[in-house]
Chain A
Amino acid sequence: MSTTEESIMAPEHASAQGKGGSVAYFIDDRLASANFTKRLLDKVFPDHWSFMLGEIALYSFIVLLLSGTYLTLWFNPSMTEVIYNGSYVPLKGVKMSEAFSSTLTISFDVRGGLLIRQIHHWAALFFVAAVSVHLLRVFFTGAFRKPREINWVIGTLLLVLALLEGFSGYSLPDDLLSGTGLRIAQGIIQAIPLVGTYVSMFLFGGEFPGTSIMPRLYSIHILLIPGILLALITVHLIMVFYQKHTQFPGPGRTESNVVGFRLFPIYMAKAGGFFFVVFGITVLIAAFVTINPIWLYGPYTPSQVTAGSQPDWYIGFLDGAVRLMPNLETSLLGHTISWNIIVPALVVPGIMFTALGLYPWIEAWATGDKREHHLLDRPRNAPTRTGLGVMALTFYMILQVAGGNDVIAAAFNLSINSMTWTFRFLLFALPPVAFVITKRICLGLQRRDNDKLLHGYETGRVLRLPSGEFLEIHEPIGEVERAKILAKPDVIPMELPASVDANGVRNPKAAKSVMRAKLSQWFYSDVIPTPTDEELQEAANHAQHELHAAQSHIKEIASH
């Protein structure tokens, strides 16, 4: 507590508080930060490996800021044409942009430059991968539910920004691969109805490629998007801190508490250490595995292309969508509408990210669940949500694989044409199948959980009874597992409203309510109730009885 008296007396106490004491007093005398600092140091975080996926993203971002800053010291985002005269012999004398030439300088003439470039690129792939996997964890455990919807939306924005940031960085070296990617992006912009041609002309300072795009992308890549990312990440973390982390069900875990370890010292060491692990692994990968060898691709020129032109993995789903789309185009009143471009490149991702961002409200609306949730769902206990998630993931994965169809075709001697047709079919056929199968698996797991509660787990020890009957000995499960299984929350599907009210007047809103109630019942369909206390008691008695029988039998055998 910081009261005036204590503040006045502060200098005298400083030595007693250890070396850091005087600094702490100095700061507290000016900010009254003691209360906040105490809360911070004592803050409890639950321990689970999947809660660290977001940390991987955060740490990758820090690595990106660090390595990116080094790159800016040598990189020159100019499209002025130069004749290369650096130390990479196979490109000596070739005309190229300063952007490409300075990237070659970083790779071949700056000691450690290639290492920094590769750290930056690998960290970028890590960043988006960790954001995506973290998103899946939050989705499948229901951590996005009230009161965390706002943070879910911020997370969705972070994902979209990460994609843009990654793509703009991928384009900067001005090599043959990135130039081709930029050409495709320009083609997509140009296809936007009404304004596309203008937007493209303004963005590129004229026709493609022009000489303006690199400096413009550069300021977008190193200033604009990172600035927004940094701001949103800060808000994201403050909200996690303020709302406290969710936790998995288990003994002692309730909706109203957090069980785990304090920030200081445990998480300082664990999370701080994990930063070094993420950083260290990224550096080691950058040391041992090459990424984006731009010198092999050569400088970009709009008349050259390489087989296997692919974007980095996170743009793969977009590329795949563009590849799978049939060739529809409409010419109407002197205008061209390229459905083959705007549907896969703008409409589909637009729908995907909007649905993603709105999902917490969609689910809350469908289920009518307005309660706060701090205990996570085990994915099996929310079969419909898990099914929907796997369904969406299947859709995404098909697009992703389709984005690499030419590389797969070349590697496995398949036909691109039949692969494309297969993927077109699977894109619609597989997701519903994935939904049904996932839901079945979830319900199966729930039943197994109930079996475990009632009959214990199978020990693998089999007894042969005198009657010739075989009996496998079951042991009751431990308290931790019991707590986990019994933590399955009750679900209350909405009830169908009466189509007429008490006075016999037709309810005009009934149709809508009926639909909603049906949706709610669908969402909670196939509920498998956890055993009641009576059932559990009975099962326990039965098990006890069985155990006695078995034990006496064993004694009998032993006595012979």
Chain B
Amino acid sequence: MALSKRHPAALFAVLAVALGTTGAAYAAVSAQTTPKAVVLSETQVEQGKQLFLTGCSSCHGLAAQGGSDGPSLLGVGAAAVDFQVGTGRMPLAAPGVQAMPSMPSYNAEETAALAAFIATLGVGPAIPTQEMLDTSDAELALGGELFRTNCAQCHGAAGTGGALSQGRVAPNLMNSDAKYLYEAMVSGPQSMPLFSNQTLTEQDKKDIIAYVEELQKNISPGGATLGRLGPVTEGLFLFIAGLGVLIVAAVWIGAKSK
């Protein structure tokens, strides 16, 4: 009621503030997490090697050749390390069906050092530069097409995630940074397949990231989203809230008045 009494301009103002804040917050977050151009300094590689030997080699092997507890890291590239360590998936908290994101165990500097070290072991996808993640020239609609063709089957058309076999999941993308989206596509973490830059070009990836960022704005013209999980939550809501209210009304009508 209060809302509709406002002058339309007020709504614009609210919108502008909301969008502005979101944008600013976003810019701050991406500035914070996007690393500067990777400089492979000797000391950084050496630091990374030490960190690897103490923290990772027990599973991935002393030469990162892999073992029964962890895959080989030869040629996985810096992108894979940045994704796995940066999102806190590695080191694995406990053996389970799937590494899940958590608080990162290494700080940005240590992560960069680890990535630098692994990158020296074989040619693999690098950490994307700021320019590669700049979606200002992205085609949103094409990104949507590509997202529905390549990503929606696991992550859902709304990017809210989905189930895979044997308790594995395709995670919700609603809070994923552009950098990690990119790194996941090129490195194929856990069950996820790889999407190389030759078959899904850098521009394609930009378009997809732009589309996911659009989804992340969580604009829902029609009202509360119910988690964007589709007809299952809609049906639950209908029975619990909708039919619930109507049955309460029916009980009120049928009750004797005092």
Contact between chain A and chain B defined by CB under 8 Å? yes
Taking Cβ atoms with an 8 Å cutoff, the residues of A that contact B are 47-53, 56, 89-94, 107-108, 114, 118, 122, 125-126, 129-130, 133, 176-177, 270, 273-274, 277-278, 281-282, 285-293, 296-298, 303-313, 316, 404-411, 413-418
- B97 and chain A: residue at smallest CB distance: A415
Q: How far does the alpha carbon of A406 sit from the alpha carbon of B231 in the complex, in Å?
A: 12
A49 touching B223 by the CB < 8 A rule? no
Return the 7 tightest CB-CB contacts between A and B, nearest first: A307-B162, A313-B235, A290-B222, A415-B167, A306-B157, A49-B254, A409-B163
Partner of B167, one of A286, A311, A409: A409
Q: Are A90 and B211 in contact (CB under 8 A)?
A: yes
8 Å CB contact of A47 from B148, B215, B245, B254: B254
Q: What is B's interface to A at a CB cutoff of 8 Å? A: 97, 140-142, 144-145, 148-149, 152-158, 160-167, 169-170, 211, 214-215, 220-226, 228-235, 237-239, 241-243, 245-247, 249-251, 253-255
Residue of A whose beta carbon sits closest to that of B254? A49
Cβ of B177 to closest chain A Cβ, rounded Å = 20
Task: Kindly list chain A residues whose C-beta atoms are within 8 Å of the C-beta of B234.
Answer: 125, 291-292, 312-313
Whether the Cβ atoms of B250 and A53 lie closer than 8 Å is: yes
- A478, chain B: closest CB distance, angstroms: 14
Q: Which residues from A are CB-within-8-Å of B163?
A: 307, 405-407, 409-410, 416
Q: Are A415 and B230 in contact (CB under 8 A)?
A: no
Cβ contacts under 8 Å, B247 to chain A: 49, 53
A selection of 7 A-B contacts at a CB cut-off of 8 Å is A52-B250, A122-B238, A298-B148, A298-B152, A307-B153, A307-B154, A406-B163
**Number of A-B residue pairs with CB-CB distance less than 8 Å in the complex they form:** 197
Establish whether residues B144 and A91, one from each chain, have CB atoms under 8 Å apart when the complex forms: yes
A90 to B159, CA, bound (A): 14
> Are the C-beta atoms of A278 and B246 separated by less than 8 Å?
yes
**B231, A312: Cβ atoms closer than 8 Å:** yes
The contact of A288 among B155, B223, B239, by CB within 8 Å, is B223
- Inter-subunit contact A277/B249 (CB<8 Å): yes
User: B258: shortest Cβ distance to chain A, in Å?
Assistant: 15
Most buried by B among A52, A274, A297, A407: A407
From A48, A93, A288, B224 is in contact (CB under 8 Å) with: A288
A218 to chain B, nearest CB (A): 21
Give the residue name and chain of the B residue nearest to A404 (CB).
B232
Contact B223 A304 (CB under 8 A): no
With a cutoff of 8 Å between Cβ atoms, the chain B residues found around residue A297 in the complex are: 157-158
For A307, give its contact among B141, B161, B214, B246 (CB under 8 Å): B161
* In the bound complex, CA of A313 to CA of B226 (Å): 15
Distance between Cα atoms of A122 and B226 in the complex (Å): 14
Q: Which chain A residue has the least Cβ–Cβ distance from B248?
A: A49
A307 touches B221 (CB 8 A): no
Question: Please, which residues of chain A bring their CB within 8 A of the CB of B245?
Answer: 281
**Which residue of A has the minimal Cβ distance to B252?**
A49
Q: Known contacts A176-B157, A296-B158, A410-B162; is A312 also within 8 Å of B152 by CB? A: no
A299 to nearest B CB, angstroms? Answer: 9
Q: In the complex where A410-B169, A413-B169, A416-B165 touch, is A308 in contact with B222 (Cβ < 8 A)?
A: no
Q: How far is the CA of A539 from the CA of B158 in the complex (A)?
A: 67
In the complex, how many angstroms separate the beta carbon of A245 from the nearest chain B beta carbon?
13
Find the B residue at minimum CB distance from A117.
B222
- A407 and B251 CA atoms in complex are apart in Å by 33
Contact A290 B220 (CB under 8 A): yes
User: In whole angstroms, how far apart are the Cα atoms of A480 and B160 in the complex?
Assistant: 54
Select which of A47, A125, A306 is within 8 A of B235 by beta carbon. A125
**Contact between A125 and B238, CB atoms less than 8 A apart:** yes
